[in-house]
Amino acid sequence: MKTIVAQPFDFTFDPAHLALVVIDMQRDFIEPGGFGATLGNDVSLLARIVPTVGRLLEAFRKAGLPIIHTRECHRPDLSDCPPAKRLRGKPSMRIGDEGPMGRILVSGEPGADIVPALAAKPGETVLDKPGKGAFYATPLGEILAERRITHLVFAGVTTEVCVQTTMREANDRGFECLLAEDATESYFPEFKKAALDMIRAQGAIVGWTATVAEIETALR
């Protein structure tokens, strides 16, 4: 057993049953001209965690532990994108529209891919998900069960939407979850803070949080 110094108390795990889930580190959310920018967001807030997510990936790779990357995107015919999602708000472009990096959040388009610095390596799993949570309409649950995973470390964007949704889904399924505080981000810093507080409230009601350095130390 190993232990990560974490909040609200230490996170203990067996490395044989630990995996990393990196949520939606995609060009459409992180690079200028992508979907995040069309919503009026400052994408540089998300771009600044690319180095720390990279460190976390490297720590898991060196330890030989499973890594799962997710991408939020839809089929080209948008049959898996309900109108309630596509028509929400007043962005300058919507899901499926042609943007600077191809059709926005459509599978196979350049903008839907993971930023090059964090691209998956051979042997790592990449899951396309149509929803905010990574368990909905994906084989994630089956993949984790097959590998006998019980503990998950999370990173990615955005903290309060896809990351927190997936952590809550995982918690409901019995997984012990830890979020890397400096490898996740929001377009709204106050939302990230609130999400971290909610996740670790009431004695880790959803999960734990720790820094990448604390995770690296435990995995060495």
Q: Which residues are catalytic, by number? A: 24, 129, 162
**Enclosing H/E stretch for 190:** helix 189-204
**Which tokens go with 116?**
């090059």
Residue with structure tokens 């057993």? 1
Distance CA 173, CA 52 (A): 28
Amino acid at the residue 18: L
Distance CA 70, CA 125 (A): 8
Taking alpha carbons only, the member of 93, 75, 76, 72 closest to residue 30 is 72
How many Cβ atoms sit within 10 Å of the Cβ of residue 158?
24
Distance CA 29, CA 156 (A): 11
Are 92 and 41 spatial neighbours (Cβ–Cβ below 8 Å)?
A: no
How many Cβ atoms sit within 10 Å of the Cβ of residue 211?
18
**Which tokens go with 214?**
């604390």
Beta-carbon contacts of residue 68 (< 8 Å; ≥ 6 apart): 19, 20, 21, 22, 124, 125, 126, 127, 134, 140, 143
Length of the chain: 220
